[in-house]
Amino acid sequence: MHKHSVAHALQHGSMALCLSTLAWIACPAGAVQAAARAVAPAPIQSPHVSEAPVQPAGMAQPSAIQPAGSSVRPQPIKPAGTPGTAAPKLMEPDENDTDAERIRKLQSVASGNPKRGSAAERTAGRTAWLLGLLYLHGEHAPVDRTLARRWFERAKTLNEPLGNAGLAWCEIDGCNGPPAPAAARPYLSPLQKADSGLALYLEWRILERLAPVQGSNTGQPLHSDPDVQRMQLLRQAAQAGNASAFNELGLANVTASRYDLALQQFNTAAARSPAAASNARLLRLRMDQGESARGGSGSGGGGNGITATGNKSPEEWFAQARRYHRGDGVPSNYAEAIRLYQLAAAAGNPSARRMLELIYSRPAPGGSVNIAWMRQLASMDVTAEGAILNFSSPPTPQLFVRDVTPLYEFIPNEWRKDRSLGQR
């Protein structure tokens, strides 16, 4: 019985082997090759190597606003290059609340006693910073620079790094006392990591406040080394993304008649700076007017349009000096105004000679140009020889402007009102 079962199994196995062999032989050659391809392993690929050259760590591509070959690289503050921590979510103003009620709600959040290092502390610190901004700019509350400084100090106490920006600005501009620009520097180092562009811009403002006015009797060249250093610092602030720095570069390029570059810089800052947005619109309008004026006349300087200018008469030099003195259609620039007055006076214009005599008749204590006296002279008529000084008509209301402060861009849009522009 056992032998019969084994024999039967061998018989079935032989038959299965034969059938399998016959099926393989009968299979078309193409099908066999297809099956082989289906199970063939994929060839080993060599690692992909990018053909782009490897950049050394930390080397950034040069920015478009960096002058090629510039050897002047003053770095009072180097951009940190690291973004600050994410800002906590602030409460939005309730449209049903009065301004006083909105301020009270913010004060309640900012005046608490949160745990050190907690999310509540971060929210309280950023709310105190917002309160300082609102009081500084008169948003939802009357302007109160003393209160603004107190809330900036509260923000700093709560480890909000931007509180240092508010305190620095209070020293630069004088919130509750005379300006002390040099006293702002200790606040810039802790601000650097939170917003390097703002720290660089505030350093530039400090240097601008401390620098003497050019064109006085010091014999200093118009484009001296300190000027180049300050401009380099302003470019660094713009490279770090500061909107006020871009607006300042645009104003400088308007003064230098580089209108296309100025328009580009105004547009770059327009989303965050209402002043830059206004300047971009005004410059575009002036450029369009200038194109129309050139189509009808080859001489520049007529009207308010920006046109190319050639050789000028003494009267035209004087008129141009008045524009820079008063900020009429161009950024106010006392150094450029004095230079143009000197050109007009040298060419024989008596009004320019009289203006220069008046400018230098009341020097500042250090012998430089008296800024307050320059402001008064900007609105006085000196064209009549021997006439009593009279206030002349104000300049056109369409002026290139700056934001009220460089901190205005940090006010959230929902907390802003229509008080964004100024002429500082």
Cα–Cα distances in angstroms (integers) from residue 37 to residues 23, 29, 31, 46, 193, in the given order: 20, 12, 10, 21, 60
Q: What whole-number distance in Å separates Cα of residue 286 and Cα of residue 409?
A: 26
Read off φ and ψ for residue 421, nearest 5 degrees: -105, 150
Q: What are the angstrom distances between the C-alpha of 330 and each of 5, 79, 273, 354?
A: 113, 31, 18, 23
Q: What is the pLDDT of residue 119?
A: 92
Q: Which two tokens stand for residue 296?
A: 């009808």
**253, 256, 257, 263: CA torsion to nearest 10:** 0
pLDDT score at 90: 74
Taking 50 as the pLDDT cut, the residues of the chain under it are 2-3, 6, 9-10, 16-86, 214-223, 293, 296-310, 386-397, 419-424
Query: Quick one: which of 231, 257, 406 has its CA closest to 336?
Result: 257
Please answer whether residues 172 and 179 qualify as being in contact, where contact means their C-beta atoms are separated by less than 8 angstroms.
yes
Q: Report residue 417: phi and psi, to 5°.
A: -120, -170
Residue 19's pLDDT is 44
| Measured distance CA(244)–CA(402) in Å, rounded | 8
**380: β partners:** 391
Find where tokens 């034969």 sit: 18
Q: Residue 24 and residue 26: Cα distance in Å, rounded?
A: 5
Termini Cα distance of the chain: 116
Q: How far apart are CA 18 and CA 12, in angstroms?
A: 10
Across 143-153, b (16+ Cβ under 10 Å) vs e yields: ebbebbbbbbb
- Mapped to the 3 state alphabet, what secondary structure does 262-315 carry? HHHHHHHHCCCCHHHHHHHHHHHHHHHHHHHHHHHCCCCCCCCCCCCCCCCCHH
Enter the pTM of the model. 0.59
* Per-residue confidence (pLDDT) for residue 224, from 0 to 100: 55
The pair of structure tokens assigned to 198 is 């703002």
**pLDDT at residue number 309:** 43
Q: H-helix or E-strand containing 262?
A: helix 259-269
Task: Answer whether 119's CB lies under 8 Å from 88's CB.
Answer: yes
| DSSP classification of residue 217 | T
Q: What is the pLDDT of residue 333?
A: 86
pLDDT of residue 22: 41
> What are the beta bridge partners of residue 421?
403
Question: Considering only CA atoms, which of 133, 157, 164 is closest in space to residue 147?
Answer: 133
Q: What does residue 403 show for φ and ψ, rounded to 5 degrees?
A: -65, 155
pLDDT value, residue 270: 94
